Structure 1
Amino acid sequence: MKLFKAILVTGMLVLAAGCATEETLIEPPSESTLGDKIYKRSPALNQNVNSQDTASKVTISDTLTFSDALSKALLENPRLQGYGWQVRVKEAERIQASLLPNPQLNAEMENFGGTGPFEGYDSREVTVKLGQKILLGADRLKRKRLAGTQKELAGWDYETQKLDVLTGVTKAYISAMEAQRQWQQQQELVDVAQNLYNSISAQVKAGKVPKLAQTKAQVELSRAKIDLENARNQWESARSSLAAYWGNKQPQFEQLKGQLSMPSEVPKYAKVQTYIQQNPDVARWATELQQRESALDLEQAKGIPDITVSGGYKHAEDLGAGAAIVGVSMPLPFFDRNQGNIRALKYELNRAEWHREATLIQTYKTLRVAYNRLRSSAHEVKQLHEQVLPGAKTAFEAAQTGYRQGKFDYLEVLDAQRTLFSTRTRYIQALAEYNRAVAEVERLIGTPLSEISAN
């Protein structure tokens, strides 16, 4: 019983010493504010969401809306969910980093089973010791701080991927809207070409126009049908590309709802570029530098040798007596003071500074190119909408009227028709390009353009 009490008291003292090792040396780092406010839409990050819960799923009908496409991608994009679980991994590693080293139990029995006075068990000595490593360099809290910054970096990686997914879905939806409109327009062109062919065929039968006009109308109709099939294939490809963002191999929707946005006044570049720090690719570098500094602090702490305090009880059988044992051990840092790893982490910190600067410069460069494309496409859409399209439509209507009155021949009608539909095609392309440019600029500044004043 005395032996048990001695071991128990010694163990409690050793554990208390271990728990009090470093709590007063460093204030614990504050908790990350990234998680709960940003990751609500990810099942991987929201433990309250049941994977079988229908409320956490978006049902796709025959007509897909833009908001449903965004929600579907946020909830079910495989790559995004992978980044969500990575945040959970880093949270678990942070928990592990905060744990104390385990105490070590050591039991020995000596001076028995030998010869002479050590024959048998009469001279045996039993020693029981309990040891606890004390981290003099505050390693545990520094490991916890490093793991906390790594969790925040994983959060920034998730945020970057989320923005990439949202931007990708936006562009894919715009491209699908463009393909849908081009397909619809091509159907209109086939109808116009069919009506014109029927009209010319009737006039050929009546002997009013030569057979050659009917042949040319037939060629134009066949060409329009070929373009219609091509437009349908492009629409199918665009549907598949959009559905792939939430992991569907076969699109479940048949059409898209909505219209491509018309250009609004574009804010000045000087004002737009002030938001570039909200780009997660740029904003993450503040945390990246904190992570490198935390890693350097930990390596410097490892250069301070830790001590192991031990205590126990020793019992000598031949004397019928026992005694307490207390010990302290520590490595002597004569050769290895972790100087190589410390220097390497200092270099890594300097390298991170240059990488941050390079990222910032590249982002400004990319933003300038995207902004110029935004301004150019907005100008083109405006000119096409206000001047070119109305003129082409008027010319086509006049050519049709003149043809029916015998003032123009078929070739003039055909030329006006081609001009109108090619202009409409270009207008749809320019409108889609403008909307894609908006999405790209908003990705680079991490802010909707609608929130930036144009004045």
Structure 2
Amino acid sequence: MKLFAPLLALGMLVLAAGCATEETLIEPPSESTLGDQTYEASLALNQNVNPLDTASRVTISDTLTFSDALSKALLENPRLQSYGWQVRVKEAERIQASLLPNPRLNAEMENFGGTGPFEGYDGREVTVKLGQKILLGADRLKRKRLADATKKLAGWDYEAQRLDVLTGVTKAYISALEAQRQWQQQKELVDVAQNLYDSITAQVEAGKVSKLAQIKAQVELSRAKIDLENARNQWESARSSLASYWGSEQPEFKQLKGQLSMPSAVPAYAKVQAYIQRNPDIARWATELQQRESALDLAQARGIPDITVSGGYKRAEDLGASAAIVGVSIPLPFFDRNQGNIKAAKYELSREEAQREAAVSQTYKALQTAYNRLEAAANEVNQLQEQVLPGAQTAFEAAQTGYRQGKFDYLEVLDAQRTLFSTRTRYIRALAEYNRAVAEVERLIGTPLSEISAN
């Protein structure tokens, strides 16, 4: 007890000294970071914390809606879940970065079990010391700042991946709608070709047209059936591609609900371009540079030696006396001043600035390309809808009427039929391309086009 009491008091003083040194460096609680504001209330992120919770799961029926597809992908997309866990990892690393170094307890006994005056235990000396490292370079604060920036970057990565998933699901849903509509149209074409074949067959049997017309009609019907099977396979592939966004190997839905959106007025490029800073791939670079600056600050701080203060108690049995011990230990920075890591951190900061410029340039280039596709698709859809489709429909109806009246032969009907259905196919493809271009532009600016005035 005589040894323990003064040792405990001295140990408390050492710990207090270590804590007091850091206390003046602790920042007051800051405002919520971007990650806190955006992701803490996210069902998709919180699903990662308790993956067995099924309360927020989306049930897929035979008919899949667009909103259900988005919700299910956000909750169950495996890649997005991995980014959600990464946010949690960085939160835990931030906690670790804010911790003080542990005190070190050292105990030793000497001058015993030897010969002469050191024989036995009567001449032994017992020393117990407690040491605490004091971070003179504010390492703890700067580690915390670096961990904060790293956590924010994880939040930006999550946001970018979330938008990638939303955009991917949107484009996959559009492609699936396109495939479903093309398949339905091909069924209609098979019906039209079958009716025409039946009509020609009846006329051949009546002796009104040659057998050659029937053969040509049979070839056209067979070709339409082959195209129908191809369209069905494309629909199956589109279903599987869409279902893969929530980790499903076998699509549960049988059909999609919804229609491809018609083009609306496209805002001027200058107005669209003004929103590009909302793109998380661009917005994250401010945090990226902040992280590199924090890493440089920490490297510089680690170049300052940290001292270790210690205190303890020593007991000399042969003298029957005890004494206190205090000490200070500090590395002498003759050779290692962390100069290599400091230079590397500076170079890394310069590299990040160059990468930021490259990323911004690449995003502007991608936006210009996507915007050009958007304008081209919108123009094509409008032209097909207003001029080409009505003309093809009128020509097909006129050819059918004329054929029944004996004014046109089979080849003219066949030509009008091919023109009509190839135009419909092109129209559906252009409409889907327009919707995919809208999704791509919105991903690049992080903003719905509907929020941007076209005037």
Q: TM-score range by the shorter chain?
A: over 0.9
Q: Deviations over 1:29-55 (max 9, x none)?
A: 735522344236766732797433332
Q: Deviations over 1:268-287 (max 9, x none)?
A: 00010011111111111000
Which stretch of the first structure deviates more once superposed, 16-25 or 91-100?
A: 16-25
The change in CA–CA distance for 1:271 and 1:62 in structure 2 (over 3 A counts) is: same
Q: In the alignment, what sits opposite 1:432?
A: 432
The change in CA–CA distance for 1:56 and 1:87 in structure 2 (over 3 A counts) is: same
Residues 25, 141 of structure 2: 8 Å contact kept: no
C-alpha distance in 2, partners of 1:43/1:441?
Answer: 26
C-alpha distance in 2, partners of 1:325/1:50?
Answer: 52
Residues 294-443 of structure 1 mapped to structure 2, 5 A cutoff: 294-443=294-443
SS at match of 1:277: helix
CA drift at 1:311: 0.5
Residues 200, 217 of structure 2: 8 Å contact kept: yes
1:192 pairs with 2:192: yes
C-alpha distance in 1, partners of 2:131/2:124?
Answer: 23
- Counterpart of 1:355 in structure 2: which amino acid? Q
Which stretch of the first structure deviates more once superposed, 35-44 or 148-157?
A: 35-44
The change in CA–CA distance for 1:372 and 1:81 in structure 2 (over 3 A counts) is: same
CA drift at 1:214: 1.2
CA drift at 1:209: 1.4
User: Mind listing any 5+ residue stretches in structure 1 that lack a counterpart?
Assistant: none
Residues 277, 283 of structure 1: 8 Å contact kept: yes
C-alpha distance in 1, partners of 2:45/2:55?
Answer: 16
Q: Deviations over 1:248-284 (max 9, x none)?
A: 1111111000000000000000010011111111111
- Counterpart of 2:85 in structure 1: which amino acid? W
Residues 45, 88 of structure 1: 8 Å contact kept: no
C-alpha distance in 2, partners of 1:224/1:427?
Answer: 18
C-alpha distance in 2, partners of 1:327/1:381?
Answer: 83
- Counterpart of 2:226 in structure 1: which amino acid? I
Q: Deviations over 1:308-328 (max 9, x none)?
A: 000011111111111111111
Residues 48, 84 of structure 2: 8 Å contact kept: no
1:248 pairs with 2:240: no
C-alpha distance in 2, partners of 1:29/1:156?
Answer: 21
SS at match of 1:55: coil
Q: In the alignment, what sits opposite 2:39?
A: 39
1:137 pairs with 2:137: yes
C-alpha distance in 2, partners of 1:126/1:78?
Answer: 60
C-alpha distance in 1, partners of 2:40/2:148?
Answer: 20
C-alpha distance in 2, partners of 1:215/1:407?
Answer: 21
Residues 44, 75 of structure 2: 8 Å contact kept: no
CA drift at 1:80: 0.7
Q: Deviations over 1:183-229 (max 9, x none)?
A: 00000000001111111111112222122111111111111001000
Residues 44, 85 of structure 1: 8 Å contact kept: no
Residues 163, 443 of structure 1: 8 Å contact kept: yes
1:265 pairs with 2:265: yes
**TM-score, length-scaled by structure 1:** 0.97
SS at match of 2:3: helix
Residues 371, 441 of structure 2: 8 Å contact kept: yes
CA drift at 1:25: 3.2
The change in CA–CA distance for 1:120 and 1:44 in structure 2 (over 3 A counts) is: farther
Q: Deviations over 1:111-136 (max 9, x none)?
A: 11112211111111111110000000
Q: In the alignment, what sits opposite 1:80?
A: 80
C-alpha distance in 1, partners of 2:23/2:356?
Answer: 34
Which stretch of the first structure deviates more once superposed, 43-52 or 367-376?
A: 43-52
SS at match of 2:21: coil
User: Mind listing any 5+ residue stretches in structure 2 that lack a counterpart?
Assistant: none
C-alpha distance in 1, partners of 2:150/2:29?
Answer: 13
1:237 pairs with 2:237: yes
**TM-score, length-scaled by structure 2:** 0.97
C-alpha distance in 2, partners of 1:418/1:41?
Answer: 54
Q: Deviations over 1:331-353 (max 9, x none)?
A: 01111111111111111111111
- Counterpart of 2:379 in structure 1: which amino acid? H
Which stretch of the first structure deviates more once superposed, 297-306 or 54-63?
A: 54-63
- Counterpart of 2:148 in structure 1: which amino acid? G
SS at match of 1:314: strand
C-alpha distance in 2, partners of 1:154/1:307?
Answer: 34
SS at match of 2:22: coil
Residues 112, 120 of structure 2: 8 Å contact kept: yes
Q: In the alignment, what sits opposite 1:293?
A: 293
- Counterpart of 1:426 in structure 2: which amino acid? R
Residues 42, 81 of structure 1: 8 Å contact kept: no
- Counterpart of 1:115 in structure 2: which amino acid? T
- Counterpart of 1:85 in structure 2: which amino acid? W
Q: In the alignment, what sits opposite 1:171?
A: 171
SS at match of 1:400: helix
1:211 pairs with 2:215: no
Q: In the alignment, what sits opposite 1:202?
A: 202
**Alignment length (residue pairs):** 455
- Counterpart of 1:6 in structure 2: which amino acid? P
